[in-house]
Every structure is written in structure tokens, then in C-alpha cells.
A = this chain, B = another copy of it.
Amino acid sequence: MTSERECINRILHYVESHDREYLIKGIGDDCAVLKKDGENCLLLTTDTLVEGVHFDLAWHPPYLLGRKCASVNLSDIAAMGGQPRTCLLSVAFPGSVPSWFDDFMSGFTSVLNEHDTLLVGGDTVKSQNDLILSVTVTGEGDRGQICFRSGAKSGDLIWVSGSLGNAAAGLGLCRSGQCQSAEMSGKWQHLIEAHLDPEAQIDLGRILSSSGFVHAMMDISDGLATDLAHLCQESDVGAEIQQDLLPLSTFLEHAATELDAEVLDWVLKGGEDYQLLFTTRASDEQNLLQLVSEKFGREIFCIGRIVEEQGVFLCNGGERREIAYQGYDHFVGK
């Protein structure tokens, strides 16, 4: 048993069919969804970050690590279109609490404050070797507005909320030492920041969930190919994405050349962009664009269509190829 997917499948084996009036969605989406108060639902999510696996203090400033640790968890609330409310933080340190912990907490709580989210508990323990940060976030959303992964329909347009591949490029630049040079504030800054300090799309998520236009939504944490495959599996559909529609940042191509990497690998398999991925009816396109322009003020990008045929396909000119289930798996690696 080696892959994360297999591990989850083993866990699911022990989860009895949960037929309780207070449970709306258990395992299988960005958050669990529980009934709360009338039409108001409780959202529940947890994520664990391990030093050397999910982050590296050699280049990650503690303040920004704190911000990222909060943002990647809030992103799961954004993915359901919810409002984050409270947070639990568990930290496991080898030996004593490190001197940079104040900077970490300062960054962590800065993101919570930006989204009116309260730190209400947690746990601090000693580990043997690893530094592990585990965060649980609760949120709220109206039952009729919460966006699940499972609502995509054939013919839907597929949208992403921003550029893809930036975080993967930023990670590559950090690994190559570029983030410690003067270039940090130079042409790579935008890419490196996407890795060090990603943004949870809470505001856009709420605009989208309350718009009524969205059929299915999730955040892109494991890479477009893997995450779109999840969304398609949950919705029992397939997807065709158009390569020339994928939104790419300036300098992404330069960074790929610099690092001898492939832009398309970063975009499809990179992960950690924490952009929203969602589908809407094609006929709602203009209304959606107008709404997002008015209420959000930033562009969103249509990258393809939901199709009946199972699988995720990348179209480029006349070519159409199936993209394997090839995103990041936490146990197998790529």
C-alpha cells in the first residue's frame, strides 16, 4: 500500500455508510458538510504540512510559512464557497519550540485576521524528528449555495480563477537558490510569492457560490490534471481543456528555460496554485463574467468544456490527448 489514494481507499473501507440527518457530505470533497442551523451548514477541513515534504525552512521565511499554513486550509473553505470561522492549530516540534515560532504565528494569524477567522484551540506536542503543522478550519455556508465537486454537467464551461503553474515555478526557483538572491524582488518575485505565500480565494468563492451559476467547484492543490480528474470522477463526466486557453503568467516561460523545465508540466501537474476550478452552464458565461468583473475586479479564465466521455483531455490545435491521472501524489511523488 503506497499511494495516498490507496491509503484513503483503505480508510473508506472502515467508514460505514453514514446515514445521519446531520451529515450532508463526509469524505470526498474539499470539506465535510454538516447541518448547523436551519439552512446554515458547518464546513470542516484539515490539512497537515511536514517540513522537508511540504515546505523547506531553508528558503521559506517563517512569517510567510505561517501565512501559507493558514491559506492552504482556508482554500478548502473557499472551494466550497464558504466563509471561514474558526481554526485549530496543532504543532509538533522536535526538541524545544524554535525561535522563529513567533514570526510563524504572526504570519498565521495575519491571514486568519484578513478573513475574520478565530484561532480557538489546538495542541502543542514534541516530535522525535519532524516539524509538523496540522490545521483544522471550520466555516459556514448556506445549504443551497455550497458548491460540491459533484455537480458538473456535460456541456459546462470549465473555469479557473487565475494563472496556473506559478507555485510550481516558484518552488523550482527556490530550490535552485533564486529566492535568496536579489532576483527575489526582481522578475521572479511573482512566481516565488505564489509558492511562498499563496492566496485563499475566499472572496471569489463566496461571490461564485452565491451567484447560482456554479455547478461544481474545488481548489487546485494537487495540479490541474489530478484535480480536474477528481471533479470529473465525482460528477461522472469528462473534460476537454484547450491548451491555448490556459492562463500563464509573464516570465513563466523564462523561468522554465532558466530551470530547464517544462511549462506544461508546471501548469498541469505542479499543484499548490490554490486557484479555484469550477464549471458553469455555457449560457451563463456573459452573466458570470459581468458579475465577477463587478464584484471581484479580477479576470477569471475559461479553459475548456465538460464532456460526456470519461477522462481529462488536453486539446492543442488538431491534437487531443488524454492526460493521465498524473498529478502529485503525497506518497508516490509525481
> What residues of chain A have their CB less than 8 Å away from a CB belonging to chain B?
1-2, 4, 6-8, 10-11, 13-16, 18, 20, 22-23, 25-27, 31-32, 34, 36-38, 42, 44-54, 85-86, 88-93, 96-97, 99, 101-102, 105-106, 108-109, 113, 118-130, 132, 134, 136, 138, 330-331
Q: How far is the CB of A9 from chain B (nearest CB, A)?
A: 10
A32-B88, A109-B15 as given contacts; A53 in contact with B101, CB under 8 Å:
no
Q: How far is the CB of A156 from chain B (nearest CB, A)?
A: 26
* B22 and A124 contact, CB distance less than 8 A: no
In the complex, chain B residues whose CB is within 8 Å of the CB of A85 = 22, 34
Residue of B nearest to A27 (CB): B121
Each complex incorporates copies of this chain amounting to: 2
* B26 and A102 contact, CB distance less than 8 A: no
* B330 and A50 contact, CB distance less than 8 A: no
Q: How far is the CB of A133 from chain B (nearest CB, A)?
A: 10
Specify which of B37, B38, B122 is in contact with A46 (CB 8 Å cutoff): B122
Residue of B nearest to A124 (CB): B7
In the complex, chain B residues whose CB is within 8 Å of the CB of A22 = 85
In the complex, chain B residues whose CB is within 8 Å of the CB of A45 = 88, 121
Q: How far is the CB of A181 from chain B (nearest CB, A)?
A: 27
A119-B11, A132-B92 as given contacts; A2 in contact with B125, CB under 8 Å:
no
* B37 and A108 contact, CB distance less than 8 A: no
Provide a sorted-by-A list of 26 A–B residue pairs whose CB atoms are within 8 angstroms.
A6-B97, A7-B97, A10-B101, A14-B119, A15-B109, A15-B119, A16-B109, A18-B120, A25-B120, A34-B86, A36-B36, A42-B42, A42-B138, A44-B88, A44-B136, A46-B88, A46-B136, A47-B123, A48-B125, A48-B132, A50-B92, A51-B128, A96-B331, A128-B129, A129-B130, A130-B132
